[in-house]
């Protein structure tokens, strides 16, 4: 039985870019031989001791599977594709996927408009991808300007985001918060939800929480009953320590 469910974003929240690697940090993701993502040595110690942690990520299934967490940390449930895909012990849940694709179908016309804007944007610096059939992704040399064009093209059924150079057009009903609440209702109705995230794409997840954990610089966008905030610097290690406290493997004074 669960007394709480812990939902966490990945990039910037539980893992971090190899560009921020410091001595002692551990690479947990490679692509074509290049270092992509890291965790700290302290995280490598704590993660295998945590239970009930559910990653919630905008990564595709393939991108999620590239991550090599420390041995012993193997979440039973993972929400990939911004919540559009549910993995149970590494396998996609067919009913969940079918429901998500039906949502995509309802806003396909808006997504096609967004695709056209992306493809014709002179600022675009990457191909336009339909990720796992769920949402559109590309990159821009001027993401703020490109985002403005996208938002003008999208209707109420599609949400658009810029995270660094990355641009997304995602069905509004496919979001991390809605997915986390739906999964919680399936596996532990009425259970306390602790959610961690670091970007505006995580706001729906954080708003779904009983306790939200996030960097203090996005506080103006969050309003929940209980908030745990800290500086953005080394946020993933703070998050892991906090989860450790919740799971009883880190003493209170460690935080």
Q: Which residue ranges form the domains of the chain, and what is each CATH number?
A: 4-98+175-254 (3.40.50.1000), 108-171 (3.90.1070)
What pLDDT score does 116 carry? Answer: 97
Alpha carbon distance 231, 11 (integer Å): 16
Is pLDDT at 156 greater than 80 in this prediction?
yes
First to last CA, the chain: 27
Is pLDDT at 101 greater than 80 in this prediction?
yes
Instruction: Give the angle subtended at the CA of 234 by the CAs of 84 and 44, to the nearest 5°.
Output: 75
Mean pLDDT of all residues in 81-106: 98
Backbone angle region of 32, left / alpha / beta, with phi > 0 → left and psi within -120 to 50 → alpha: left
The mean pLDDT of the chain is: 95
Alpha carbon distance 41, 163 (integer Å): 27
Is pLDDT at 255 greater than 50 in this prediction?
no
Is pLDDT at 57 greater than 90 in this prediction?
yes
Alpha carbon distance 150, 136 (integer Å): 11
Coil, helix or strand at residue 220 = helix
Query: Measuring CA to CA, how many Å separate 46 from each of 23, 69, 167, 221, 241?
Result: 18, 11, 33, 30, 8
Q: Tokens standing for 85? A: 């895909």
* pLDDT tens sequence across 7-52: 999 999 999 999 999 999 999 999 999 999 999 999 999 999 998 8
Mean pLDDT of all residues in 163-170: 96
Is pLDDT at 134 greater than 60 in this prediction?
yes
Q: According to DSSP H, which parts of 38-195 are helical? A: 41-46, 61-66, 94-106, 108-120, 143-153, 176-187
Is pLDDT at 121 greater than 60 in this prediction?
yes
Instruction: Give the angle subtended at the CA of 163 by the CAs of 173 and 161, to the nearest 5°.
Output: 35
Mean pLDDT of all residues in 54-73: 97
Is pLDDT at 146 greater than 80 in this prediction?
yes
* pLDDT tens sequence across 172-227: 999 999 999 999 999 999 999 999 999 999 999 999 999 999 999 898 888 888 99
pLDDT > 70 fraction of the chain, expressed in percent and rounded: 98
Is pLDDT at 254 greater than 60 in this prediction?
no
Overall size of the chain counted in residues: 255
């Amino acid at each position: 039985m669960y007394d709480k469910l812990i939902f966490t974003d990945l990039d910037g929240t539980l893992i971090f870019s190899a560009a921020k690697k410091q001595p002692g940090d551990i690479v947990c993701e490679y692509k074509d031989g290049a270092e992509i993502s890291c965790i700290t040595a302290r995280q490598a110690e704590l993660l295998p001791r945590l239970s009930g942690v559910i990653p919630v990520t905008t990564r595709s299934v393939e991108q999620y599977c590239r991550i090599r967490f420390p041995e012993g940390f193997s979440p039973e449930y993972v929400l990939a594709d911004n919540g559009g895909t549910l993995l149970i012990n590494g396998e996609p849940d067919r009913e969940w996927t079918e429901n998500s694709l039906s949502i995509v179908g309802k806003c396909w016309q808006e997504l096609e408009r967004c695709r056209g804007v992306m493809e014709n944007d002179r600022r675009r610096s990457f191909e336009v991808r339909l990720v796992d059939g769920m949402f559109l992704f590309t990159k821009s040399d001027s993401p703020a300007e490109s985002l403005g064009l996208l938002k003008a093209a999208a209707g109420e059924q599609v949400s658009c985001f810029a995270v660094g150079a990355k641009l997304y057009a995602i069905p509004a009903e496919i979001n991390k918060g809605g997915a986390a609440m739906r999964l919680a209702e399936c596996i532990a109705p009425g259970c306390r939800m602790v959610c961690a995230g670091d970007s505006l794409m995580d706001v729906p997840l954080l708003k779904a929480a009983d306790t939200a954990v996030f960097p203090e610089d996005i506080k103006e966008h969050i309003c929940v009953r209980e908030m745990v905030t800290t500086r953005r610097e080394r946020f993933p290690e703070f998050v892991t320590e906090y989860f450790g406290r919740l799971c009883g493997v880190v003493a209170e004074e460690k935080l």
